[in-house]
Structure 1
Amino acid sequence: MLRFPVIALAVRWIFISVLSLPIIAGVVGVMLPAFGYFPALGQDTFSLSVFAELWQVEGIGRMAWLSFFTGVTATGLAALLAIALLATFYQHSGLHTLQRLLSPLLVLPHAAAAIALLFILAPSGWAARIGAMITGDVLTPQWALPYDPHGVAVILALALKELPFIFLMALSVLTQPQLQTRLHKHIKCAQAMGYATVTAFIKVALPIIYPHLRLPVLAVLAYATANVEIPLLLGPNNPPTLAVVVLQWFNHVDLSMRFQASAAAVLQLLVTLAALASWWLAEQIVASWAKRMRLSGQRNQLSSVIQVFAWTGALLFVITGVLMLTSLVVWSVATYWTFPALLPEGVTLLHWQTALTALTQPLITTLVLGIAVSLVAVTVALLALEAEAGFMSKRTARWQQWDKIAVNITLYLPLLVPGVAFLFGLVWFQQRWLAGSVITHVFVSHLIYVLPYVFISLAVAYRRLDPRYMKVASGLSKSPWQVFWQVKLPMLFGPVLIAMALGMAISFSQYLPTLLSGGGRITTVTTEAVAVAAGSSQRLSAVYVLVQVMLPLSGFALAWYLPGRFFNPAARAKRRQKRIAANDTGT
């Protein structure tokens, strides 16, 4: 019988394989048709003619520029605002309030965020209605947003969606005990020298924090340059962003368009690499400027500007979030609603009845798929971390270093490689060798995206476990499996549930992997929401988005509630005292 540490080590390598092999296979599967090799369509030779034809497509340069510009601008805006918020609210009581305000938007799917923002920015949306109420103009305004040619609506939606992720990742870095103590001492020292709190944070804390944020920010940048859902719903149409046109070409009825779509997918990969390279270059320029700024000796440099930017951004973010949620709720129950009235003439639940009837099967599929993928992801992540804490800790320092590099590379590989650059190739491999198992294709595609987030979520809590508990259990002749099952898991019950809820939220929000891997045969709430939004049914779209929002929020609500009921000695003691007091009263 295999020992538990050996099983954990094997799962750790399975973890690396699950994240790397499908992406490598997918990139190869896209590269081959891009260079003219596709035996299924009668092409078994390599050439550059496909790329030559791609360059002749009208507007291809504009499409690539839109993907690059919207992704870089949105990521830069979200990162700058997150840093400004940290600098302004660090060691401030409002930091936890801000965290509670931003956390719910972390679980909001990209498609849901785009649809909700569409209700505000549309010519008949609430922004126009409020403007009409102020100006008295009863005509629908003719402004560019959304679908503007420069992708401004896409930038706003991406920044709105990615800001909570970057901000909360920064907070997780700040909560690391050793780093937190170090930063506190540095900032106190800077303040004692007369530096303002914001300036001290920018000059002293940010250079220490940012290296820990680099990979998450780069992952956001890669995702933003190749995102499909938001540009599909809010972006320009003539021409669209490159990722959208890749999806359209791959779904074209003319199968020969697969060659052009593959070449465009390779171009999308190059656009993302160019964005990452540009970000690295910007980092070097900012680092050089920041070095001179730190040596300038100015005690209040940019403090007021950063505070104004932070407060303005936070206020706009909260107002937009409230308007988005309110607009969704109102549209989901609205009857007849003319412009420029702020509220509909009546309320009805007919849209909910219609939508929930149509959503029965997609809702079941979404829940089953999300729970299954999250369970597998949590199990793999736990065993991979157990191998790191146990067997891997006994290896040499050089072995540990190589293992850490391998894990970090594979962990961010699905987040750094654009989905349109490997999912189509992965589907080609799946159809070639596993053509009869559609649900397996979708499961694997979801697992590729869920596993990194689950691992990152669990790693922080797992690595902070006090090793003395495990040493005591081992000293009591407990086996490694018993230590893991009876000591570690009860202590990690809360973080495991949070990771499970996060995994389900990520799975619930997957649009492109579901659409491509399922070939349209697997429908989820997200795919149906995008389809309904494209059909211009605002009331049904609002219901679908609210269902999308309630699913992950329900998972997180359970994750926050259950740890207080299970594996909580203080809660058990309190309930026992209540039962004793009730019995005494009854007696």
Structure 2
Amino acid sequence: MIVANTLFTRLVRNSPYLLIALLVVPVAGGLLGVLLPAFSWLPALNETNFNLSGFSQLFSTPGIDKMVWLSFSTSLISTLLAFLITILILASYFNSPWLHRIQRLLGPILVIPHAAAAIAIGFLITPSGFLTRLFSPWLSGWDTPPDWLFPHDPMGISIIIGLTVKELPFLLLIALGVLAQPEIGKKLRAQHKVALSLGYCPMTAFFKVVLPNLYGYMRLPLLAVLAYSSASVEMPLILGPNTPPTLAVAIMQWFHDVDLSLRIKASAGAILQIGITVILLLTWKSLEVAIKKGSAAILVNGEREFGGMIIQRFTHLLTSIILSIIGLALVAMVLWSFAGFWSFPDLFPQQLVGQHWQTAIMQMQTPLWNTLLIAITSTFIAIALTLFALEAEQQNTKTISSISGFIIYLPLLIPSIAFLFGLVWVFEQVGSQHAYINVILAHLLFVLPYVFLSLANSYRLLDPRFGSVAASLGASPSKIFWQLKLPLLLGPILIAAALGLAISFSQYLPTLLAGAGRINTITTEAVTLANGASRRTSAVYALVQMLLPALFFLLAWAIPKCLYRARA
């Protein structure tokens, strides 16, 4: 017992520093590993003289200006659209039961991997997609698929649609999570009621009173979304143009080219990608400052109504359109997974078959096993580290408070395409040839922040009097942790675990790079199949991608209910 208590105390004391090391060291090492080759220091290719030849090659690449503009514009516009729609939904349905109904409808979209979401949207907007079939030929007059470039349009509109639809549920759930916190939510709702009592319409009251206070809590998640979308690979690879692609996709192609000298150019591109992300973050900050100055007078001018009813009706229509797009995309994907012969413009297939599922299930056994093994291992490590770090925080062991601040967002704010290439170089330098371990560590960088952010509030809100009573009865800290706190937090722990699994399931670039292409998962196979393979097979893989996180979230919801019912 004494040995167990001593071991527990050491684990708790050291866990915050281990957590920070796991977040900072790989990112810092990865950045160093991409910075040196960018300046032509790559001994493996006999390049040991620092120079700017990599950047010269990069900026002489045909279409590099379009690549940069595509990365910049699609990420900024999609994040801005997702944020504006989130604010409109919150303002229109604030203190309304519809807000939680919309949350329940959009919530499942959060766990859908980006690759699966891109495939589903592709099935909707292709020339022979479900959207054109829905209106043909009775309204459009089309007997053959129209001649348009969606997806893969040169302006990146398809990417913007995909990123907006995928980012919207995340931002909405972040905002609702802030409002669900007792102190913050109660204060904001009270201020909203005071504004209503003073004659402000509900929409104006939200924009003048709630939004300025709410935005501060959403800033870091917004910046993380902006940084991710600027260097996203899955969405642009499936929905974006190919001549030229976005910069992140081009970097990935250069890195995997058989010509190893292109790695110098890829590293220079990764540095440029970091620059694009920094400019995006500064642009967002400039927009914040401009809007703050421009709206200062409006907030205090005493106007009670700013077209609230018109905005509300527009939001109702917009919300209906978004939910319809999501629903139609999912229906299209399910139909394609069972479709036999399906000619245009028929709305439904002439026959439904199960052959595609049978073939895919036989082929996906190894990718499915790899997916589950990597996800469960990385999530277990993330849950354990998070729980010990939060316990250290409660025991006042001088933990570093920045865990829940900037550091926890570090892997999310820095473009993954930049430091992951360097991380591969770090693995090579230390001689790590274990592909599974490399991939698990790479996944952990992205799973750990989400697990920590998911569990932190629940752990901190746990009533400390339970522990005090147990301690007064002679229970040791380890016994209080294992037998009291963890059972009380079973529900939040399972939800955090399901979220961690969902994040791991969706990782494409970390799996591809850290595993050196030797480890196939459901996500890597789905992305590969989405680019040129049968629609039916790619639909099956995309649905499996969606069903895996949905299954674990269902278990996370059902297990506590069954256990509590048995105890009762």
Residue 140 (1) aligns with residue 137 (2): no
Among candidates 77, 80, 84, match of residue 81 of structure 2 = 77
Q: Do the aligned partners of 2:404 and 2:453 also contact (CA within 8 Å) in 1?
A: no
Compute the displacement of 1:102 (Å). 0.6
> Among 111, 123, 136, which residue is 2:115 paired with?
111
Counterpart mapping for 1:360-371 below 5 A: 360-371=365-376
Partner of 2:277: 272
Cα RMSD (Å) = 1.2
Report how far residue 409 of structure 1 moved.
2.1
Q: Distance in 2 between matches of 1:256 and 1:302?
A: 59
Checking the alignment, whether the CA contact within 8 Å between 1:5 and 1:390 is kept in structure 2 is no
Structure 2 distance, partners of 1:420, 1:184, is: 41
Question: Which letter maps to 2:536?
Answer: R
Q: Does 1:492 align with 2:489?
A: yes
For the pair 1:542 / 2:539, whether they are aligned, the reply is yes
2:156 is the alignment partner of 1:151: yes
Matched length? 563
The residue type equivalent to 2:47 in the other structure is Q
In the alignment, the residues of structure 1 paired with residue 316 and residue 229 of structure 2 have an alpha-carbon distance, to the nearest angstrom, of 25
Alignment of 1:56-455 (within 5 A): 56-133=60-137, 134-392=139-397, 395=398, 403-455=400-452
Contact 1:22–1:426 (CA under 8 A) maintained in structure 2: yes
1:491-521, Cα deviation, whole Å (9 max, x unpaired)? 1000000000000000000000000111111
Task: Please list the CA deviations of residues 508-567 of structure 1 after superposition, one character each: whole Å capped at 9, or x if unmatched.
Answer: 00000000111111000000011111123100011101101100000000000001122x
Q: Which amino acid aligns with 2:12?
A: A
Given that 2:191 and 2:210 are in contact with CA atoms closer than 8 Å, whether structure 1 keeps it comes out as: yes
Q: TM-score, normalised by structure 1?
A: 0.94
The residue that corresponds to 1:558 in the other structure is: 555
Cα distance, 1:303 vs structure 2: 1.8
**Paired AA for residue 425 in structure 1:** G
How far apart are 1:290 and its partner, in Å?
2.3
Q: Distance in 2 between matches of 1:531 and 1:49?
A: 32
Deviations 1:273-306 (A, max 9, x none): 1000000000111111222111121111242343
Equivalent-residue separation in structure 2 for 1:286 and 1:225 (angstroms): 22
Residue 483 (structure 1) aligned with residue 480 (structure 2): yes
**Distance in 1 separating the partners of 2:521 and 2:7:** 40
Deviation string 1:71-110 (CA, Å, 9 cap, x unpaired) is 0000000011011111111110111111100110000000
CA distance in 2, matches of 1:309, 1:547: 35
Per-residue CA distance 1:199-230 (angstroms, 9 max, x = gap): 11111011111111100010000000100000
The share of aligned pairs that are identical, in percent, is 46
Where 1:132 maps in the other structure, the secondary structure is coil
Aligned to 1:572: 567
Q: Distance in 1 between matches of 2:533 and 2:431?
A: 36
Question: Tell me, what secondary structure is at the counterpart of 2:406?
Answer: helix
Q: Which amino acid aligns with 1:142?
A: D
Choose which of 453, 458, 471 in structure 2 pairs with 1:456.
Answer: 453
Cα offsets for 1:88-138 (capped at 9, x unmatched)? 111101111111001100000000000000001101101111232323320
1:581 matched residue in structure 2:
none
Q: What is the aligned partner in structure 1 of residue 20 from structure 2?
A: 16
* Structure 1 runs (4+) greater than 3 angstroms displaced: none
Matched residue type, 2:427: Q
Structure 1 unaligned blocks of 5 or more: 574-587
| Unaligned segments of structure 2, at least 5 residues | none
Equivalent residues of 1:9, 1:391 under 8 A apart: no
Given that residues 84 and 309 in structure 1 are in contact (C-alpha distance below 8 angstroms), is that contact kept between their aligned partners in structure 2? no
Q: CA deviation at 1:462?
A: 0.6
Give yes or no for the alignment of 1:467 onto 2:464.
Answer: yes
- Separation in 2, partners of 1:269, 1:107: 27
Contact 1:442 1:514 (C-alpha < 8 Å) held by counterparts: yes
Amino acid at match of 1:124: S
How big is each residue's C-alpha offset from its partner over 1:50-74, in whole Å with a ceiling of 9 and x where there is no partner?
Answer: 2122111111111011101000000
